[in-house]
A and B are shown apart, each in its own frame.
Chain A
C-alpha cells in the first residue's frame, strides 16, 4: 500500500517545510509579529499599532509599549529532538510544539535626542513553549483550514505573574497561529485536484493527508 494507504493520493509537509513557511510569513508580514503603541523607535520596523496602556497616574496618553514575538519554531510529533519541552509539556500523537519568545518593552520615560522625543525603554523577554493540535474550521467542507490552537503554554522566570503571562501569551500565540491557516487541499502542492478523505494528521514529523482525485 505504501504511502497512499488505500487512497488515490497522499501528500505531506515536514516540520522544516512549515518552519520555512513561518519564516516566510514573518518576512512577508512582519506586522503579525510586532505590536507597538505611540511612536516606537525605528529599529522596530513595520508593526501593528495598538493603543497605549491607560493606567491610573500615567501621564499623557498612557503607557507606551512594544510587544515582539520571536520567530516561532515548530516541531511535529514524535519530534526531532531539537526542542526540549519543559515539564509538564509533552508532545503526543497528532500534536505539534512551538517554541517562541515574547519581548515586552515599556516606555518608562522619554528624552530628547536631537529634535526628537524618544522613549527610554525597559524590556523583558519571555521564553514560550506551547503544544497544540490541528483544527478545521468546517469539518464538513472539502476545504480544511489548518489552524493550530496552543492550549498548553508554559512561561518561565516570571514568578507570580506566571499565570497572567501564560494567558496573555496564549492569546498572542493563538492569534498568530490563526493567521497561519491554509487549505489542506493545497497540500498536494497544486499538482493534483485533491479532496481530503483522511487527515490531516501529525505523525513521523510530518503533516499528512490522504485523498481522492477529483
Chain B
C-alpha cells in the first residue's frame, strides 16, 4: 500500500535547496586574545558558496561537499618589543675624539627604547570545506519540519599554513623598524628580526590555531551549519488546504491533515512520507 502522501527530492534538487540555505553575502566574526608577551585582535570575514550533494543511504547522511569559503582573516598582533628584544646602545662601541680641549673624549651612546608595535596581518582565505548532515523530523506547532543537523566532527577545513604567513607578516613589519636605527648593520638587523620571530613563534602558532577555530566556528555558526539548532530544509504544514474558502460561510476551506511525517534517504533521494488523518 503506498503512503498517503510522498515527496521525494533528488540529489540535484537537494543541491538547489541547500544552495538556497547558504548565507547570503559575507559573514564575519571577531575575537581577541592575550598572552604574557603578546596580544592580538583578529577577525575572519568570508563568503560561502557552491558545493554539491552526496547522499549516503546506509548512514542516512547527506554530505555537502566542497563548499567554497573565500575571504580573509585579519589580525593585529601587539607586543612591547622592549620585553622581547635585548637592550641596545648605539654606536655599539663608543666613538672617541682626541681633540676635545686636548683630551680624548668619547661621546655618549644612545640607547633607543624599543616601541610597542601593533602588527597588521592579513591572510587570504580560499578553501573548500565539506560537512555531513543527519536528518530529523521536528514538530513545531503547526508544521512538520525536516531539519538538517550538521555533524560537527565532519566539518573538515583544509586551511592554508597560517602560522608561516603570520610570521612572515611580522618579519616584514619589523625589518624596516630595525633598519631605521643608525649603526645597525644588516647582520644585526637580521639578528633582531630573528630574536623577535623566535619570541613570536609560539604566539604565531597559537594565533593560527585561534584563527582556524574562529573560521570553524564562523562556518559552523552560519545558519546552515549551526550544530545546535539545525536548519529547516523542508516544512510541511500539518493542515493542507486543498480548496480555499471563497470567504462565505457556506464554502469554508477544504483541507487534509498530516498526522505523521517520516523522512529517509533511499536510492539516492530524500524521501518524505506522510500519513493523513
Q: Do chains A and B touch in the complex (CB under 8 A)?
A: yes
Number of contact residues on A: which range applies? 35 or more
Indicate whether B8 reaches chain A with its CB closer than 8 angstroms.
yes
Beta-carbon contact of A24 and B254 below 8 Å:
yes
List of B residues within 8 angstroms of A156 by Cβ:
none
Indicate whether A204 reaches chain B with its CB closer than 8 angstroms.
yes
Instruction: Tell me the chain A residues, 1-52 only, with Cβ under 8 Å from chain B.
Output: 1-4, 6-14, 16-17, 20-21, 24-25, 28-29, 31, 46
**Given A16-B4, A17-B4, A9-B236 contact (CB < 8 Å):** no
Chain B: minimal CB distance from A162 (Å): 33
**Given A17-B276, A190-B240, A4-B10 contact (CB < 8 Å):** yes
Tell me the bound Cα distance from A10 to B12 in angstroms. Answer: 12
Number of contact residues on B: which range applies? 35 or more
Beta-carbon contact of B256 and A192 below 8 Å:
no
Beta-carbon contact of B16 and A25 below 8 Å:
no
Beta-carbon contact of B2 and A206 below 8 Å:
yes
Nearest CB in chain B to that of A5: its residue:
B10
Beta-carbon contact of A25 and B2 below 8 Å:
no
Chain A: minimal CB distance from B106 (Å): 85
| Interface mask (B2-21 → A, CB under 8 Å = 1, otherwise 0) | 11111111101100110000
Indicate whether B213 reaches chain A with its CB closer than 8 angstroms.
no
| Prevailing SS type, chain B contact patch | strand
Instruction: Tell me the chain B residues, 14-38 only, with Cβ under 8 Å from chain A.
Output: 16-17
Indicate whether A188 reaches chain B with its CB closer than 8 angstroms.
yes
Beta-carbon contact of A191 and B6 below 8 Å:
no
Beta-carbon contact of A25 and B254 below 8 Å:
yes
Interface residues of B (CB under 8 A from A): 1-10, 12-13, 16-17, 146, 234-237, 240, 242-243, 250-256, 258, 266-269, 271-272, 274, 276-277
Show 7 residue pairs from A and B whose CB-CB distance is below 8 angstroms, ordered by the A residue.
Answer: A1-B10, A28-B253, A29-B251, A179-B243, A190-B240, A191-B234, A206-B6
